[in-house]
Structure 1
């Protein structure tokens, strides 16, 4: 059996979380490394179990030394992802930035695993957006019925929009609880809800407007009958959904 050298390509914060999740899984690897999509600080070192994780900078990186890559980076890094795939790495695109490329499978585990037959065409498999994953898992037990109209309302936490939004919510919450006003021109997210489709940052998200197209790759027969609605809520973590069928 060939050895598995896994690379985690993302920022430091998410790399730590992914390593923790891998430690708690039953998966085994011969070696795990990190690729600094955003440069790590001098004091930012990673460990996998008891072992230090080798950390590689992007400049002049030889991707062929890795067999598999967990890639979690925005659309601006699409060229980097392409280089890794061209070097022969099997890429798990966690942000789904490749989900609109023809024949790149978009997967919800245990729902459409058969789509992995096309994996080697591009060496990439895209993970479905969490809104799509949760919707599909909710509807899967009902697929033997005729579903004519499905409405989805997703309640999105600050973490869905990135760590900076989490810090912004924490700061605003602390200021308001202590009676400290903040800039009246600042967008208020603490103790408030906001339609996610009018967020200024939404255009920077690699997955913000592709729900229908991702769903078409996972459950094609339902695409035309689903209406999406997203709301940002003042919580830090955890995507919740209301599905009406």
Structure 2
């Protein structure tokens, strides 16, 4: 028997992607409900070949709903996720609101599926930050083999990670450059067209940004608290797809060739690593794809047991919507949802 799924934030970039992916993957649903704020009530969104009319979160009764995929922002999730969870509906939240709560599992199915059992404490499961999700998918199989000591990562993050307004700003600024119109920065602190901005989220006391702190805290929670990680997160003029230059120091020796072989067999990973022009993946090629792509795998001779690599993924999919749907699939496959209907 199929489930009843609610997508909260259905009119946003990630919410629409969630609806697409539920349909693409044939998730066994009897009913899908599109939910957003009151101002979006009545808006039409697509679910496969069907059109769903958006309902208002404030008036929706979640009793009888099995899973709520939340992509409505941290403040909305803080207020509504506990209320929804109290109705017996499992919340899979895409915001940062619950990621650092010790009673809420932070899940990337290819990495720490077993941790999902902890969802019962609050009936909430957290989705990681988009840049963290693709990173840990690539790190996990290598960590299992040679134990990671330290990671240095520089991200090249697309504007879609900041929402539709950010995508519009890149488009409008790029157009303005070519027609010599004034360039206006609203969403970003500086112009993003033909530029890069080494600043994502707010600054913290030690000079790091919160986006960089998120990568540290989430990697430790998902993968291993002993891993030391430092990040520099940069916004780049790309519409979809986050890229990462990753340097790893291991406890045990591991060659580039062995790492390549391990990653080729790892769930969620796709290695494209030819030492020739174009023998690597860029964010343009990964847009619309589910895999975490890994290229430029090579040994770092400046440290003992070091490797460097290039990691790319569609941030709206693996970094957000796809990962949330995979968590829902994990709940279903482990028999952790749907029991009320069966009873």
Coarse TM-score class (shorter-chain normalised): 0.7 to 0.9
CA distance in 2, matches of 1:170, 1:211: 28
Confirm or deny that 1:236 pairs with 2:235.
no
TM-score by length of 1: 0.87
**CA distance 1:10–1:48, change in 2 (3 Å):** same
Structure 1 runs not aligned, ≥5 long: none
**CA distance 1:199–1:182, change in 2 (3 Å):** farther
Are the equivalent residues in 1 in contact too, given 2:99–2:126 (CA < 8 A)?
yes
Q: Which of these residues, 200, 218, 225, is aligned with residue 222 of structure 2?
A: 218
User: Cα distance, 1:162 vs. partner?
Assistant: 1.1
Spell out, residue by residue over 1:135-165, the C-alpha distance to the aligned partner (whole angstroms, 9 max, x if none): 1122123212143321011111111111111
SS of 1:66's equivalent in the other structure is: coil
Q: How many residues align?
A: 238
Are the equivalent residues in 1 in contact too, given 2:41–2:56 (CA < 8 A)?
no
User: Which residue does the alignment assign to 1:121?
Assistant: 121
Are the equivalent residues in 1 in contact too, given 2:200–2:211 (CA < 8 A)?
no
How is 1:1-245 mapped onto 2 (pairs within 5 angstroms)? 3-14=2-13, 15-37=15-37, 39-40=39-40, 42=42, 44-77=43-76, 78-143=78-143, 144-182=145-183, 187-197=190-200, 209-223=213-227, 225-245=228-248
Structure 2 runs not aligned, ≥5 long: 204-208, 249-343
SS of 1:107's equivalent in the other structure is: coil
User: Cα distance, 1:16 vs. partner?
Assistant: 2.7
User: Cα distance, 1:190 vs. partner?
Assistant: 0.5
Q: CA RMSD in A?
A: 2.5
**CA distance 1:207–1:74, change in 2 (3 Å):** farther
CA distance in 1, matches of 2:185, 2:20: 40
